[in-house]
A and B are shown apart, each in its own frame.
Chain A
Amino acid sequence: MSENLIRMIVMLLYIVAGPFIGGILDGFDRKISARMQGRKGPTVLQPFYDVLKLTQKQLLAVNKFQLLMVMSYLFFVILSGVLFFGGFDMLLCFFSLSTAAMFLILASTSTHSPFSTIGTHRELAQMMSYEPMVLLTAVGFYLATGTFQVSDIIQAKVPAIVYAPGFFIGFVFILTIKFRKSPFDLSTTHHAHQEVVKGVTTEMVGIEYAITTLTEWYENVFLLAVVGLFFINSNPISYLVAIIAVFIVYFFEILIDNTSARVKWQLMLKMAWGVTIVAGGLNLFILELINF
């Protein structure tokens, strides 16, 4: 099979299977969280029921622009995932991802609603917190494997984690923000308790909220794939290692989610930037010393 064909298949797989994997992971998240709290919890298929129900609800328009912004958000997240699974430049994937985040911001802010406005600005603060580390992660892969191309990174002799453990730690840290997990679920949360109602998603009704949830699944799959990429090299067994690592990281995020309380944005910014500088920056310095 030619390489391009494989790429096409992987991209298609992502588009088709992405939401299923994301949804199932979300379902396990709720189940595991419930068990951690001593509850039975819903079925693992619950997220699918939720999204399907949302698509059936009447759409109330708070603002006509919101739906189109949310749809654009979905498009750009899928685009970044497709670029990633298609083996393109990592920086490009992340740039596309931040464009997508822009559309979410615009969707929520166009309503002039007090709750979603506060949510929007918290979301902005979150973006400011994780953005440096996201870009640094791409840099980390480049330093470890000598390329930004995902298709070449997976051909590396040594997995990136060997050279870039600091970047890995930093990335897992900001993943908590990206996954909207406590203590960094400031802008919106998956839990019932949130002092700004539902933050950025407050004014999203029915299908709009369904699309947002779907988008988050796509995004989560993409981000977890980045985690996996740290462990992948030319050896096929590494894929197995990567999958195990992804599960461990995901479980770790759930654990953090259930054991910590929401923090203020100041602390989030301090922690995120601190970890970025200490873990990412230090790793960066060391790699440069080794390479030259």
Chain B
Amino acid sequence: MKNIHKSPWLLHYDGSSCNGCDIEVLACTTPVYDVERFGVVNTGNPMHADIFLITGGINSQNEEVVRQIYEQMPNPKVVVAVGTCACTGGIFKECYNIKGGVDTVIPVDIYVPGCAARPESIIDGVVKAVGLFREKHLKEKEGEKA
């Protein structure tokens, strides 16, 4: 299906973030930025989600949780790490309980840097993710045909 990119549903997960990025993510859904005009819905449910948006680094407590939620998302799916902490671990990187960025647990497709990441760059990341989402879908279809 060609139009699959017109309906990207997000799942937003807050790792061990300072909440700065979370607020910016939520800002994207406000009238100022209104991501819903691209068909983006902020679902709270991995079973319905296409794009996994993670803010904050991974610590030993949420490691399993992130892995499970990733497992519970149906293919095709895209992972977006939002903010420096989610990308690399950020300023918490050296903490005793921090494992690092999201890519230490699950494969990450898009990295959105920034501390905190600006709504514009988050939307930019999501738009990139949407393109990748479509690409993955088309690849899957080809794989099925072959």
Contact = CB atoms under 8 A, between A and B. Distances in A.
Asked if A and B form a direct contact in the complex, defined as CB atoms under 8 angstroms apart, the reply is yes
Interface of A: 30, 34, 37-43, 46, 49-50, 52-54, 56-60, 62, 192, 194, 197-198, 201-206, 209
Contact of A37 (B31, B43, B48, B72): B31
Majority-rule SS of A interface residues: loop
A135 B38 CA distance: 41
A60 B75 CA distance: 9
A154 to B, nearest CB: 38
B138 to A, nearest CB: 10
Contacts of A46: 6-7, 39
A176 B37 CA distance: 25
B75 A52 contact: no
Contacts of B95: none
Contacts of B31: 37-39
B18 interface: no
Contacts of B41: 50, 192
A7 B74 CA distance: 42
A54 B45 CA distance: 14
B135 interface: no
A274 B8 CA distance: 41
A60 B6 contact: no
Nearest to B12: A192
7 contacts: A34-B37, A42-B36, A50-B39, A53-B7, A54-B48, A197-B44, A209-B47
Contacts of B74: 57-60, 205-206
B47 A192 contact: no
B120 interface: no
Contact of B37 (A38, A42, A56, A57): A42
Given A34-B36, A46-B39, A56-B4, A192 B44 contact: yes
B22 interface: no
Contact of B1 (A42, A53, A62): A53
Contact of A198 (B1, B29, B34, B48): B48
Contacts of A204: 47-48
B76 interface: yes
A39 B36 contact: yes
Contacts of A206: 74
Interface in B46-70: 47-48, 50
A60 B50 CA distance: 13
Contacts of B44: 192, 194, 197-198
Contacts of A30: 36
A34 B41 CA distance: 12
Contact of B137 (A37, A56, A197, A202): A56
B39 A40 contact: no
